[in-house]
Chain A
């Protein structure tokens, strides 16, 4: 009986919080809503340390926080969400920790695919992985491809997970792809060395941008970084020219709806300024 009472009150509390959140979202929607929000998910290890959790539990909590954030973004009507999950520089960490992250990733993907969870599919979220995926182990690569294929038809929100990603690597990769494409085009015209002749511009800015990993989404409106740091850490450097950079002192697993709310309010304050800047470019 007691248990039932607790569950009833918990359910009531949940319904109330949902209603309250919907009311806030409706109020917020009066102003402009960002199209693309990106997250630098920093502080999982420190979170685990602070709470005396087992190694790897911080990343688990971080995954849960991402799930909630995506749900809140969906409620707000944000169409693109990007999360910086694993940097190429993170491979410098101990092999055990890197392996733990890879295993967690595969485990969560399998949960999603085996309908134990499949929250993303239910919510109509398409998942895309960006980055140098060649650096991942074969099981991780296979799992990633499966998940992308499974959610390819979803269209409510595009969740881009930057894994084995750095912005400088993205730029170099885009240049490589552009050069290879230009060369292939010239070989089709049977003039393989025409590119070397003269000093005319061959590679255009638009060509490079087309081959970026992040070409799947528009440039972000907001980049949110947790754990009180104020750097981009080689994330979306190219795309963040006219983007509100917001830092929170909270560690990533402790991020909440209120943080997202504050970020959107800040974005609304500077909306016309950023629009003017975009037009200038």
Chain B
């Protein structure tokens, strides 16, 4: 009996030790990964400076006209750093990007849009002048500001618009099995409620992880999503690299 008890104690000790060993190993793996990312960060920073100084020839010619609409997703906590945002927009203006959408989850950038518009040379607000998604203004940089409420909540509002139309049209046959709405009708409904901006070609994410943080779903069907790292360590070279990489992307839209 005592032997069995001792064996049980021994087994529990072994299990406990094994568990401790696994925990240690897990932490070790994550330390190694952190070191890997740290090294990668240094390499990227170095490459970024080389691009900025024009050392790397392939980044000298940018076909920026391929990038018609750019979206920037900023982590809400970093969105308070308006000076960084303004510097970023200034870089984009220098590169020749004409249409930018700024997004953060909590709408912090939306609140400071007047300040940003005033600080960025010649920037105008994207709005009524750009009906039907036609990006007409080529002389100034047009800025659009979006937040989480322009995503799912906007879809719910648009759904109400469609529902009202559906009820008023009288086509309310309960047995109707066909499709009531089309995707183009949905796009129109989103425009009606003021959330129908164009689809960005490229979305740059400034934050800890590669994630679009609830950017309006309807507008990112075929958008290239690139993680740029935290806003506080943004670099001109990495911006050039991201745009250059985008201009070389081939899309076949399902074909």
B160 at the interface (CB under 8 A from A): yes
A175 at the interface (CB under 8 A from B): yes
Given known pairs A26-B22, A208-B155, A280-B105, the reply for A176 and B180 (CB within 8 Å) is yes
Report whether A167 and B26 are in contact in the complex, using a CB–CB cutoff of 8 Å: no
The count of chain A contact residues (Cβ–Cβ below 8 Å) is 61
Report whether A172 and B181 are in contact in the complex, using a CB–CB cutoff of 8 Å: yes
Tell me the bound Cα distance from A274 to B210 in angstroms: 11
B13 at the interface (CB under 8 A from A): no
Report whether A193 and B167 are in contact in the complex, using a CB–CB cutoff of 8 Å: yes
The A-contacting residues of B in range 15-35, CB under 8 angstroms, are 22-23, 25-26, 29-30, 33-34
The A-contacting residues of B in range 61-96, CB under 8 angstroms, are 76
Report whether A205 and B105 are in contact in the complex, using a CB–CB cutoff of 8 Å: no
Report whether A176 and B254 are in contact in the complex, using a CB–CB cutoff of 8 Å: no
B115 at the interface (CB under 8 A from A): no
B79 to chain A, nearest CB (A): 13
B163 closest partner in A (C-beta): A179
Report whether B162 and A244 are in contact in the complex, using a CB–CB cutoff of 8 Å: no
A82 at the interface (CB under 8 A from B): no
Report whether B22 and A27 are in contact in the complex, using a CB–CB cutoff of 8 Å: yes
B208 closest partner in A (C-beta): A273
Looking at B1-9, B43-51, B131-139, B211-219, the stretch in contact with chain A turns out to be: B211-219
Tell me the bound Cα distance from A175 to B167 in angstroms: 14
Report whether B254 and A93 are in contact in the complex, using a CB–CB cutoff of 8 Å: yes
Tell me the bound Cα distance from A196 to B170 in angstroms: 10
Report whether B159 and A175 are in contact in the complex, using a CB–CB cutoff of 8 Å: yes
A175 closest partner in B (C-beta): B159
Tell me the bound Cα distance from A230 to B249 in angstroms: 10
A103 at the interface (CB under 8 A from B): no
A7 at the interface (CB under 8 A from B): no
B229 to chain A, nearest CB (A): 13
A270 at the interface (CB under 8 A from B): yes
Tell me the bound Cα distance from A228 to B224 in angstroms: 11
B153 at the interface (CB under 8 A from A): yes
**A231-251, CB under 8 A of B: which get 1 and which 0?**
111100110111111100000
The A-contacting residues of B in range 149-191, CB under 8 angstroms, are 151-153, 155-157, 159-160, 162-164, 166-168, 172, 174, 176, 179-183, 186
Report whether B167 and A274 are in contact in the complex, using a CB–CB cutoff of 8 Å: no
A116 at the interface (CB under 8 A from B): no
Report whether B159 and A208 are in contact in the complex, using a CB–CB cutoff of 8 Å: yes
B125 at the interface (CB under 8 A from A): no
Looking at A11-19, A66-74, A84-92, A153-161, the stretch in contact with chain B turns out to be: A84-92
Report whether A175 and B186 are in contact in the complex, using a CB–CB cutoff of 8 Å: yes
A178 closest partner in B (C-beta): B159
Enumerate chain B residues within 8 angstroms of A274, measured Cβ to Cβ.
209, 211
B168 closest partner in A (C-beta): A196
Partner of B221, one of A167, A192, A205, A243: A167
Looking at A48-56, A105-113, A139-147, A180-188, the stretch in contact with chain B turns out to be: A180-188
Enumerate chain B residues within 8 angstroms of A183, measured Cβ to Cβ.
166-167, 172, 174
Report whether A245 and B211 are in contact in the complex, using a CB–CB cutoff of 8 Å: yes
Given known pairs A231-B224, A237-B220, the reply for A245 and B210 (CB within 8 Å) is yes
A158 to chain B, nearest CB (A): 23
Enumerate chain B residues within 8 angstroms of A189, measured Cβ to Cβ.
none
B255 at the interface (CB under 8 A from A): yes
B148 at the interface (CB under 8 A from A): yes
Report whether B222 and A231 are in contact in the complex, using a CB–CB cutoff of 8 Å: yes
B226 at the interface (CB under 8 A from A): yes
A-B contact pairs, 29 of them (CB 8 A): A27-B25, A31-B26, A31-B30, A168-B218, A169-B183, A175-B159, A175-B163, A175-B181, A178-B159, A179-B166, A180-B176, A183-B166, A187-B174, A195-B167, A202-B163, A203-B163, A205-B155, A230-B225, A230-B226, A237-B220, A237-B221, A240-B212, A241-B151, A241-B211, A242-B211, A243-B211, A246-B210, A269-B30, A277-B213
- Which residues of A line the B interface, CB within 8 A? 26-28, 30-31, 87-93, 166-169, 171-172, 175-176, 178-180, 182-184, 187, 192-193, 195-196, 201-205, 208, 229-234, 237-238, 240-246, 265, 268-270, 273-274, 277, 280-281
